[in-house]
Amino acid sequence: MNNLIEELSAMIPQCSPVARKLDKITVLRMTVQHLKSMKGSTGSYSEVRYKPSFLQDNELQHLILKVADGFLFVVGCDRGKILFVSESVSKTLNYDPAHLTGQSLFDYLHPKDVAKVKEQLSSSDASPREKLIDTKTGLQVNMDFHVRSSPLHSGARRSFFCRIKYTKTTVKEEKEQSANSTKKDHKKYCTIHCTGYLKSWPTNEVGIEEDMEKESSNFNCLVAIGRLRPYTIPQKSFEIKVRPTEFVTRFAMDGKFVFIDQRATAILGYLPQELLGTSCYEYFHQDDHNHLTEKHKTVLQSKEKIFTNFYKFKAKDGSFVTLRSQWFSFTNPWTKELEYIVSINTVEFSSPSPPEKKSVVPNAKCKQRRGISVSVSISEHQAALVQNS
């Protein structure tokens, strides 16, 4: 038995880089992994490619897009080039698919979302690396190879929000506009929820250009569906009550957000990256500052959970959403230092407050003084909290 294991270990290329002698179970696992990488997932081919015989490919695509209520797109991971986009993009963003194909996705993203999307397009985990544990030592076996994924591998899942430019006019109206039009750029941004997978194909099968790096044998891209993110307004009191909507945030000792739950987008209208690094006191209603400041001081000095009263949080459209929060501090068990405050926010379903009216002041200096006084009041709150913590 030992002789057979040694011969098998010598035949498997994954075993040779390991300096120490491997146990029997680890050798067998590497053997199975090597056989899988050579054979591929041919057994599940019929399941992945299954569709009713009476449906054509274009009919199936139409049904999928209709159910998904969005548009299908394919983007290369290396440069963000749009390789394919479905016809339904004209209903969501008012673009002609032929106009988008071949363009860079980064040119249509909000500048603050480019880095986030590049991170999501990172193809380092397109084919997940299998971890092998040595049963004798309990340590992970370090290997310098990747499992060769088959073309049917679903890849790493991706789900993220981003803001993409859209045109207010339809495709037909945009073509009829004069080239010498002096109007400003009428493109604005709408929030799109992108869900899909990273896919990997050999370069000789996808028929892409030859200007890619020659050492790259696989072409990685994102295949996803983009859906328009709806903005939900809190329901009125006479409507049917549903389960309270919650979202989680974290802020530092000085009140600056360090984490935003994605569920906050549907309630407040902000994307997480729009709130990160900003002070929570910029969004609290002025009448609630004193109450929330006292609660902030309390949670910094206590290890118990603190419940706030109902307060108003400014949404992106200018209205105020009524929230009630549960705050508690998190202390690093190693350094014994307070790292951040966790806030579990529950929405109070009531009619939303009207947008805050801004009085028109003809004198520009008055406006500037007003802005300075507000910023000073916020900084005073933060300074008082840090001193009392």
pLDDT at position 127 over 70: no
Residue 178, helix vs strand vs coil? coil
For 24, the token pair is: 């029997």
For residue 5, pLDDT beyond 50: yes
- Which residue's entry shows tokens 């966790």? 342
Query: Residue 236: which pLDDT band, with cuts at 50, 70 and 90?
Result: low
Nearest to 164 by CA among 77, 85, 238, 218: 85
For residues 185 and 168, the answer to whether their CB atoms sit within 8 Å is: no
C-alpha angle 254-258-264 in degrees, rounded to nearest 5: 115
Residue 70: its pLDDT value, please? Answer: 83
Statement: residue 136 has pLDDT above 80: no
Tokens 């118990």 appear where?
Answer: 304
Give the residue with greater pLDDT, 156 vs 162: 162
Beta bridge partners of 191: 163
Residue type, 136: K
Q: Which of 273-282, 321-330, 333-342 is predicted least confidently?
A: 333-342
- The answer on pLDDT for 298 being more than 60 is yes
Task: Say yes or no to pLDDT of 133 above 80.
Answer: no
Exposure class string for 14-46: b at 16+ Cβ within 10 A, else e = bbeebeeebebebbebbbebbeebeeeeeeeee
CA distances from 96 to 85, 151, 153, 192 (A): 9, 30, 31, 17
- pLDDT > 70: what percent of the chain? 60
DSSP 112: G
Write the single-letter amino acid at 327: W
Is 109:118 a contact under the CB 8 Å cutoff? Answer: no
Give the separation between CA 224 and CA 10, rounded to whole angstroms: 42
pLDDT at 50: 54
Q: What was the pLDDT predicted at 19? A: 62
Long-range contacts of 312-315, Cβ-Cβ distance < 8 Å, separation of 24 or more: 312/284, 312/285, 312/287, 312/288, 312/353, 313/268, 313/283, 313/284, 313/285, 313/345, 314/282, 314/283, 314/284, 314/285, 314/356, 315/267, 315/268, 315/269, 315/270, 315/352
> Which pLDDT tens digit goes with each residue over 105-124?
999 999 989 988 998 887 55
Average pLDDT of the segment spanning 21-26? 80
Distance CA 10, CA 348 (A): 66
- Give residue-wise pLDDT tens across range 61-117: 777 766 667 888 999 988 899 999 988 888 888 888 889 999 999 999 999 899 889
Angstrom CA distances, 43 to 39, 47, 126, stand at 10, 9, 21
Q: Which residues contact 197 (CB under 8 A, 6 or more apart)?
A: 154, 155, 156, 157, 158, 222, 223, 224
- The radius of gyration of the chain from alpha carbons, rounded to an integer in Å, stands at 28
Residue 124, pLDDT score:
55
pLDDT of 155 strictly over 90: no
Per residue in 193-212, pLDDT (tens digit) is 888 888 876 665 555 544 44
CA dihedral 57→58→59→65, nearest 10 degrees, is 110
pLDDT for residue 208: 53
Q: What is the tens place of the pLDDT at every residue in 307-337?
A: 999 999 999 989 999 999 999 999 888 888 8
What is the structure's pLDDT at 120?
A: 87
Instruction: Return phi, psi of residue 38, to 5°.
Output: -80, -35
97 touches 87 (CB < 8 A)? yes
Task: Please report where in the chains the tokens 């591998």 appear, as a residue.
Answer: 153
The answer to whether 319 touches 306, Cβ cutoff 8 Å, is no
Per-residue 3-state assignment (H helix, E strand, C coil) for 267-331: HHCCCHHHHCCCEHHHCECHHHHHHHHHHHHHHHHCCCCEECCCEEEECCCCCEEEEEEEEEEEE
Q: Which string of b and e fits 339-378 if b means at least 16 CB within 10 Å?
A: ebbbbbbebebeebeeeeeeeeeeeeeeeeeeeeeeeeeb
Top mean-pLDDT range of 135-139, 142-146, 293-297, 373-377: 293-297
Residue 37's pLDDT is 66
pTM of the full structure: 0.44
pLDDT band at 187 (very low <50, low <70, confident <90, very high): low
